[in-house]
Amino acid sequence: MLINENIKSITCTDFRIFLKKLVKDKIEKEWTEDFVDQINFVNIPRMTIKRRYENKGIDLLKLIKDISYYKHVKDNVNSRGSLEFDKKK
């Protein structure tokens, strides 16, 4: 429950800005900034987005809160959007 509350505490606008940053930094490989602008957080809940990253080996909450982890992911994300297995932190 606490994890879910952490994601809910981020405003939709801030969450969109963060997702766009992921697109710009090439961490998010499947979405575009236009797609992020159009995301409906009712149809695609934040927990679904969180699970999407967890399935790729990336901790979304840590990505949001920890600058060094963000840099680590940015440097080590592969072409499929997953962390390189030999470089997981």
Within 13 A of 49's CA, how many CA atoms are on the CB side? 25
The whole-angstrom separation of Cα 13 and Cα 17 is 6
The whole-angstrom separation of Cα 54 and Cα 39 is 19
- Residue that wins the pLDDT comparison between 85 and 25: 25
Q: 37-80: per-residue pLDDT in tens? A: 999 988 998 889 999 999 999 999 899 989 999 999 999 999 88
Q: Quick count: other Cβ atoms within 10 Å of Cβ 19?
A: 20
Phi, psi of 83 (to 5 degrees): -70, 145
Question: How does the average pLDDT of the chain come out, rounded?
Answer: 86
CA distances in angstroms from 75 to 78, 83, 85, listed in the order given: 9, 9, 13
Predicted confidence at residue 2, as pLDDT, reads 41
Predicted confidence at residue 9, as pLDDT, reads 77
